[in-house]
């Protein structure tokens, strides 16, 4: 395959997966590692990718990956995370689930929970949990973001302030090496911060690809989270920081 056809596909693969590797791309295109390294170097020179050890990632930016692409990304890990999360949530409690493709998987994993009240600003979560007759579902209201079914804005925040949740299950768009939780939409950031403040116990659900991405708006820190459920071991320095903060790290396995 000619370079002019290969490079756009490399960018598309990175957009879907968050990261590309030299070995994986060489196998995919049937070319040498040297050819792929040259492609990645040229894409990095033009600012389309950012080189990392063994491959490349999408550059820092202000625009999130499309919702359907995010939904398809790392699905197995999201299901594992959701199962681990639901196993730690009791019956007879109030729960907030925010916007995110992983929190949507958590909603599906809660279909057998009994006597729960779920408040959400995610229309997809509400639709999923409508199938559980033992779940009272409350939708916050707010401005509909058609791209992903999320509800954001002042009305959303004002509704959340009327509650004190037993558990909040939240996601994020990205996370840096210092444990800061990041997002792309400043309107959503304010909602997420309010959710954290109004919850007795906060669980972050995020797979390892969130460490490969960058976003400009800060939600908060893992220090404000009681439990972090992910699919891979985290960096030892961050793991030590979590210990000092009292943040439990759970690695979901099948």
Residues 189 and 140 in one domain: yes
Same domain, 84 and 32: no
> Domain check: are 49 and 81 in the same one?
no
Q: Are 120 and 245 found together in one domain?
A: yes
Whole-angstrom distance, CA of residue 254 vs CA of residue 247: 22
Same domain, 123 and 194: yes
Count of domains forming the chain: 2
Residue 33 belongs to domain with CATH number: 1.10.10.10
Same domain, 48 and 158: no
In a domain, 163, yes or no: yes
- Predicted local distance difference test score (pLDDT) of residue 192: 95
Residue tagged 């995010």 (tokens): 70
Q: Considering the domain boundaries, does residue 247 fall inside one?
A: yes
pTM, rounded to two decimals: 0.77
If one compares 45 and 197, the residue with the highest pLDDT of the two is: 197
Contact 241, 219 (CB under 8 A): no
Please report whether residue 62 resides in a domain: no
Q: Are residues 145 and 236 in the same domain?
A: yes
Rounded Cα gap, residues 92 and 135, in angstroms: 10
Instruction: Please state, in angstroms and rounded to a whole number, the distance separating the CA atoms of residues 134 and 111.
Output: 8
Count of H-run helices and E-run strands, the chain: 10, 15
For helices 75-87 and 101-109, angle between their N-to-C axes, nearest 10 degrees: 50
Check which CATH number belongs to the domain holding 148 and give it: 3.40.50.1360
Q: Is 147 part of a structural domain of the chain?
A: yes
The DSSP secondary structure of 32-66, one letter per residue, reads -HHHHHHHHHHHHHTTS-EEETTEEEPPS-SSPPP
Tokens of 45: 């020179």
In a domain, 112, yes or no: yes
Backbone φ, ψ for residue 96 (5° rounding): -110, 135
Which tens digits make up the pLDDT trace of 77-111? 999 999 999 999 999 999 999 999 999 999 999 99
pLDDT at 66 over 70: no
Which tens digits make up the pLDDT trace of 28-65?
999 999 999 999 989 888 878 878 788 888 765 655 66
Residues 218, 95 share a domain: yes
79 and 168 inside one domain? yes
List the end-to-end C-alpha distance of the chain, in Å, as a whole number: 38
Question: Based on the domain organization, do 186 and 220 belong to the same domain?
Answer: yes
Q: Is 154 within a domain? A: yes
- Calpha distance 150→120 (Å, rounded): 9
3-state secondary structure of 249: strand
Do 49 and 101 belong to one domain? Answer: no
User: Do 20 and 85 lie in a common domain?
Assistant: no
Beta strands in the chain (DSSP E): 19-21, 50-52, 55-57, 94-97, 116-120, 135-139, 143-145, 150-152, 165-170, 174-175, 180-183, 199-205, 217-221, 227-230, 248-251
The range of the structural domain enclosing residue 8 comes to 3-57
């Amino acid at each position: 395959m000619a370079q002019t056809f290969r490079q756009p596909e490399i960018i598309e693969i990175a957009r879907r997966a968050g990261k590309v590797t030299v070995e994986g791309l060489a196998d995919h295109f049937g070319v040498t590692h040297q050819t792929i390294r040259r492609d990645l170097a040229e894409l990095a020179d033009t600012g389309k990718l950012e080189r990392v050890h063994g491959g490349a990632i999408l550059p820092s930016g202000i625009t999130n990956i499309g919702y359907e692409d995010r939904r398809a990304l790392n699905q197995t890990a999201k299901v594992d995370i959701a199962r681990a999360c639901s196993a730690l949530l009791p019956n007879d409690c109030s729960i907030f689930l925010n916007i995110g493709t992983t929190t949507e998987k958590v909603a599906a994993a809660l279909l057998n929970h009994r006597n729960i009240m779920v408040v959400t600003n995610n229309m997809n979560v509400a639709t999923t949990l409508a199938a559980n007759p033992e779940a009272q579902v409350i939708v916050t209201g707010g401005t509909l973001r058609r791209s992903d079914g999320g509800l954001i804005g002042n009305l959303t925040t004002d509704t959340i302030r009327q509650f004190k949740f037993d558990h909040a299950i939240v996601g994020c768009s990205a996370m840096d090496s210092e444990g800061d939780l990041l997002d792309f939409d400043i309107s959503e950031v304010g909602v997420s911060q309010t959710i954290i403040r109004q919850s007795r116990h906060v669980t972050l659900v995020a797979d390892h690809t969130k460490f490969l991405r960058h976003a400009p708006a800060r939600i908060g820190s893992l220090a404000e989270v009681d439990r972090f459920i992910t699919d891979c071991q985290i960096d030892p320095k961050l793991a030590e920081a979590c210990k000092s903060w009292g943040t439990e790290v759970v690695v979901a396995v099948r």
